[in-house]
Amino acid sequence: MKLGGVFVSILDFLFPKRCVSCEKIGRYFCDTCRAKMRPIADNERICPMCGRRAFEGITHPYCLTRYGIDGLTSFFHYDGPVQKGIKAIKYRGVSDLAEEFIGLIKADSCLRGNDNILIPIPLHPSRFRDRGFNQAEVLARQLHIPMRTDILRRTKATPPQAEIKKRNERVENMEHVFVSERNSGNFILFDDVFTTGATMRSAANVLKRAGAIRVWAVTMAR
């Protein structure tokens, strides 16, 4: 244990952590940049189906379908240091900032409960091989909630959602992308960013059709 601590100290000395936003040495999010991070307030939560304001992020009764998402929780607005932090993990492989990043979120009721199973949105195997990791899984592990990566699989390789600008094309891009083993549980789908929600809706649809009782979406940012 001592040797491990010495090794980490040497690495920190040789390759000091820098703020992902301003590059100040010390942490991945310095105090100044932390102050610029904008948590999503309770009155800013939205329905994951229609995108309009919703109490506690619960899907509107008139939006909820048999195979739809039951609700959405996103922790930060996707801009400034938050955006840079997510991109640092996703495109630069700075995976060790995940612990510090997750440490900045406030506990949320959707994450509580012993019966919830966390499912990070999976990558297609070809993209996983290219990247070497799944950023959603890297972040999700720091939540310390029972997690499964074998229930939901991505079987169709598609262009990244970030490269598609039109909402209807994003929806089409996510059709028939996931498959799921038979299940019957309460699941928390986890991803880095919620934009149009096409990915989450597609994954929830597959989980519900496979027997899921409740599916809640959680993302670091929106």
**Is 50 within 8 Å of 58 (Cβ atoms)?**
no
Q: Is the pLDDT of residue 117 over 90?
A: yes
Mean pLDDT of all residues in 68-87: 97
Between 205 and 3, whose confidence is greater? Answer: 205
Token pair listed for 123: 């990558």
Q: Which of 159 and 33 is assigned the larger pLDDT? A: 33
Each residue of 181-204: pLDDT tens digit? Answer: 888 899 999 999 999 999 999 999
Q: Give pLDDT, residue 26.
A: 92
Least confident range from 83-87, 95-99, 127-131: namely 127-131
Asked if the model's pLDDT at residue 80 lies above 90, the reply is: yes
At 157, is the pLDDT very low, low, confident or very high (cuts 50, 70, 90)?
Answer: confident
pLDDT band, residue 3 (cuts 50/70/90): very low
SS (H, E, C) 108-168: CHHHCCCCEEEEECCCCHHHHHHHCCCHHHHHHHHHCCCECCCCEEECCCCCCHHHCCCHH
